[in-house]
Structure 1
Amino acid sequence: MATYAIGDIQGCYDPLRRLLDRVKFDPAADRLWVVGDLVNRGPASVHVLRFLRGLGEAATVVLGNHDLYLLMRAAGYERREQGDTLYQVFEAPDRDELIAWLSGQPLMHVEGDYAMVHAGLLPEWTISNAHALAAEVAAALTGVDAKRLLLNLAGNSPDRWSDDLQGWDRLRVVVNALTRMRFCTPDGRMALRAKGPPDDAPPGTMPWFRVPERLYRTHTIVCGHWSALGFHREPGLIALDSGCVWGGKLTAVRLEDGEVFQVLG
């Protein structure tokens, strides 16, 4: 049995299948960890969703910002992002089943020494803190107020965590950290508009995984989201977004031995 963690797919179905063929992925014995952003901008989002849903327990998925954007659009959010290709999903005969499956996926997965999220963790969160907060959001996404939550997710404020936060503000901060963050200040204030490489950090900020006193250092974080960072490993971090949808590569890491596999997008 092997566990393959794979970076942002974003509707790139053919590279996904080529990568899994290359590693000889066997859903009866192996497991696939997907760090979010299954959909959007790529040419075959609906095929990616069908394939991963069909893997059942062989696939462990966390939600990314593009996946949440799909759920927001399905809930009636009207602002369309540039490069949106989600019409493929909305025109599919099984759209309701696919959207329901996606909405039931978590925002964080913790297993052994690894914790998987799409974007990052705030420095004041322990793994158990972050996992509990992610579970709050996941419960809300399948609860009676799921539509209202999805229509209140957009926005960059509040830009930092507080235990006193309630309502949509509380859930929005958790979602923004787990699915959108790249840079933050040492005390956890997020710079959500910044999208460049680590050397372009806004003044006073740094990559979220470089904050010196971060509390989640008990685990190695497996993530994606940051194509300008590219595939990157350092102690405590495996970052897998190597820009497949932008003509880069799709990357997988076998967690048992750290071997890297890549195919061109």
Structure 2
Amino acid sequence: MKRRGRDDLRANQLAADLGIDIIGDVHACWDEFIQLIGQLGYQQDQTDGLYRHPAGRKLLSIGDITSRGPKSIPMLKFFIKHVKAGLAEMTDSNHGWKIARWLDGRQVSLKHGDEKVSAEFADFERQFGAEALRQLQEQSRWLLITAPSHILLTVDGEVRAVAVHAGIRDEYIGQSSPAVQNFCRYGDVAGMAADGRPIRRDWTEAKQSPLTIVWGHDPRPEPERKRGAINIDQGCVFGGMLTAYRFPEDELVSVPAKENYSGEIETPLTRYAKKKRASSAPDHT
């Protein structure tokens, strides 16, 4: 595709008076996603195929809907249709931004599961042709490249919570700049380790804001609450769980992964467990 000009970001506020269901990192785990939203009460309308909640609730993804897992295209199609219909929204994310730039014709290296998206698009073209591929690419590019860095959730017009992919500093809440966007995509990164993985600082340590921050990006075996921040990435694609946070009810709903789709033996979940064991081991020195 040819590279396009700048797109305006979608609105970064969402009224939560009827309820919002915030979905953690799906990573193309389509079957678990459909199971989860069904458990949350969403029903598919047979006339237009859209999923609606009888109470008027909306879905909000904190990003990384593609990559690593088996069904990125169904996830993209779902959010394209539901965002356009006003039934869902999604924040920016690191994998989303990588795929957006790839679709924008930029030179990016597709790895860490992003190469699976490219393979799905190639298979889609073989099945449905070049024109259908072009339309899907353009719609997917729009969905990903216009996603706001974070979304403010309001109740009775007052901001009560923030949904973000990887984290946010207090002073960044409600702001928009390259620095804000990068922090929200990647978190507080302190460089790269020898194995090529980013060294992440715990951004929640500096949190003073009274707002609830719902985030993902850094998988935990269970939803983790700390200083008013709630991590809802339970590593579904690594064989963990897919989690939703129901706001403003402050309820968590999870479904187990059907398998470890990543194909990796050592995953963020296993590394987290090892780190926890090491930190709790008695010191015999």
One fold, TM greater than 0.5? yes
Deviations for 1:132-163, whole angstroms, at most 9, x for unmatched residues?
22xx4xxxxxxxxxxxxxxxxxxxxxxxxxxx
Distance 1:69 1:206 in 2: 22
Deviations for 1:100-157, whole angstroms, at most 9, x for unmatched residues?
22222211111231011110113xx42xx44222xx4xxxxxxxxxxxxxxxxxxxxx
The residue aligned with 2:204 is 209
Instruction: Work out whether residues 230 and 243 of structure 1, in 8 Å CA contact, stay in contact via their aligned partners in 2.
Output: no
Distance 1:229 1:237 in 2: 16
Aligned length: 207
Distance 2:26 2:217 in 1: 10
Kindly provide the amino acid, as one letter, of the partner of residue 39 in structure 2.
R
Shift of 1:91: 5.2
Distance 1:49 1:95 in 2: 10
Query: Alignment partner for residue 251 of structure 1, among 231, 243, 254?
Result: 243
Alignment of 1:9 onto 2:39: no
User: Radius of gyration: which is bigger?
Assistant: 2
The residue aligned with 2:63 is 36
Matches for 1:14-163 after TM superposition, within 5 Å: 14-26=31-43, 27=52, 29-55=56-82, 56-74=85-103, 75-83=105-113, 84-87=115-118, 88-89=120-121, 92=124, 93=133, 94-111=136-153, 112-122=159-169, 125-126=170-171, 129-133=172-176, 136=177
- Which consecutive residues of structure 2, in runs of 5 or more, have no partner in the other structure? 1-17, 44-51, 125-132, 154-158, 258-285
Shift of 1:51: 0.8
Instruction: Work out whether residues 243 and 254 of structure 2, in 8 Å CA contact, stay in contact via their aligned partners in 1.
Output: yes
Instruction: Work out whether residues 62 and 92 of structure 2, in 8 Å CA contact, stay in contact via their aligned partners in 1.
Output: yes
Deviations for 1:29-50, whole angstroms, at most 9, x for unmatched residues?
1111111111111111110011
The 1:86–1:7 alpha-carbon spacing in structure 2 relative to 1, beyond 3 Å, is same
Distance 1:5 1:192 in 2: 29
Deviations for 1:71-119, whole angstroms, at most 9, x for unmatched residues?
1222222422133311224654222222222222211111231011110
Instruction: Work out whether residues 180 and 192 of structure 1, in 8 Å CA contact, stay in contact via their aligned partners in 2.
Output: no
- Which consecutive residues of structure 1, in runs of 5 or more, have no partner in the other structure? 137-170, 184-189, 195-200
Greater strand percent: which structure?
2
The 1:63–1:89 alpha-carbon spacing in structure 2 relative to 1, beyond 3 Å, is farther
